[in-house]
Structure 1
Amino acid sequence: MIDFTNLSYLKSGNERQKRAYEVLKKYQIFEKLKPYSPILAGTIPIEIDIENSDLDIICEVDLKFEEDFLDDIAMSRLMPGDTDVKIENIIINGEKSIVLNFMLEEFSIEIFAQNKPSIEQNAYRHMLAEYNILKEKGEDFKYKIIELKKQGVKTEPAFGLLMGLKNPYEDLLKF
């Protein structure tokens, strides 16, 4: 199985994965986020991305110190100074989260921070489940997922549709 906690797998991936690796390395995103245990999650790591898919980076942040995290982001010059950054505080399943969105070259970047280890966050757990399902079900299933995504269906609901899952966000966590 791929070690998704280490970006090096992107270097030998498809063209989009290689390009994502180049951009993340060029701006030293993971080095700058290292204190927050960053992991690239979502569709690009498991090759079910579509043209407008973003780079989802999940992080562990003690949200009692939210301002310190945001200061670290600013001080580390995570992105070029003229970059437009949208910051949101949201609640997901009763858990406070911070979401930062910005562009780096051709990639939309989303940094998602919760007060729990990155490997325990649902985004990572969903991605691992989806990866395993894709390996089991093969290329035809993978292309069906991609086609649903191109039609505007989000990733988890796409898996839910093809697998008959009643609540894909919860059910995928059981795989």
Structure 2
Amino acid sequence: MQDINFRNIDFLYQGTEKQKQAAVVMEDLGVFAHLARNDPILVGTVPIGIDIPGSDLDIACHVTEFAAFEQTIRRNFGHLPDLSVVSRNVNGVDRIVVRFRHRGWMFEIFGQPVPTEQQNGYRHMVVEYRLLQLIGGAGRERIIAMKQAGIKTEPAFAELLGIPGDPYAALLDMYYWPDDRLSGLYYKLLARERNEDA
């Protein structure tokens, strides 16, 4: 499978028009430079090319000093439209969610005291990218169509691939699967579809 270094957004410049636009907007804003000490990574649907109109630019950050992080946000992005900063504790874990708009894009920056590559948003994106490599262009289009019909990303993958149970938990488990096990899941999908067509 083709690997992408998701830590560096340069790969977006070789992607779709929407990915190129996203890269330019983020570079223009200097968002990764401003948040560098918090190990920011663009996650979600835009980096893996399954975004739909209205998709946010989701950026995951490792935040341990919430007051300092909020000061950084307000200093660098406080002038932008629709800025909101919400801090809360969920299941004993502090988190902060920042939203603002810039050049037609809604940004959502999510911070918690967990290293960025260990956060659920990053892990979901990586396993979804690996699955997209297997299911190809037709599978990608089916995921996008389901998203346009209102189905969230993880449930769309679960529905397409016949993954039972909680799709969010299942995809997190699949993050650790080797490529051959993911391929096996894909081959089951192909066999199921052949049986339905017979």
Partner of 2:10: 8
Q: What's the offset of the Cα at 1:174?
A: 2.0
Partner of 2:98: 100
Greater Cα shift, 80-89 or 10-19: 80-89
Partner of 1:109: 107
CA separation of 1:132/1:92 partners in 2, compared to 1, >3 Å: closer, same or farther? Answer: farther
Partner of 1:155: 153
Q: Helix, strand or coil for the counterpart of 2:69?
A: helix
Distance 1:40 1:93 in 2: 24
TM-score by length of 1: 0.92
Report the residue type matching 1:89 in the other structure: S
Deviation per residue, 1:85-122 (Å, 9 max, x gap) = 11222455553211111101110100000101111101
CA separation of 1:127/1:82 partners in 2, compared to 1, >3 Å: closer, same or farther? Answer: closer
TM-score by length of 2: 0.82
Q: Helix, strand or coil for the counterpart of 2:144?
A: helix
Partner of 2:134: 136
Partner of 1:170: 169
Verify the 8 A CA contact 2:51 2:144 in the aligned structure 1.
Answer: yes
Q: What's the offset of the Cα at 1:82?
A: 4.7
Deviation per residue, 1:30-60 (Å, 9 max, x gap) = 0000010000000000000001101000000
Bigger share in helix: 2
Distance 1:112 1:132 in 2: 23
In the TM superposition, 1:86-97 aligns within 5 A as 86-92=84-90, 94-97=92-95
Report the residue type matching 1:15 in the other structure: E
Report the residue type matching 1:168 in the other structure: P
Q: Which runs of 5+ in 1 are unaligned?
A: none
Distance 2:55 2:168 in 1: 19
How many residue pairs get aligned? The number is 171
Q: What's the offset of the Cα at 1:140?
A: 1.3
Partner of 2:47: 45
Report the residue type matching 2:126 in the other structure: L
Partner of 1:58: 60
Distance 1:127 1:174 in 2: 13
Q: What's the offset of the Cα at 1:162?
A: 1.2
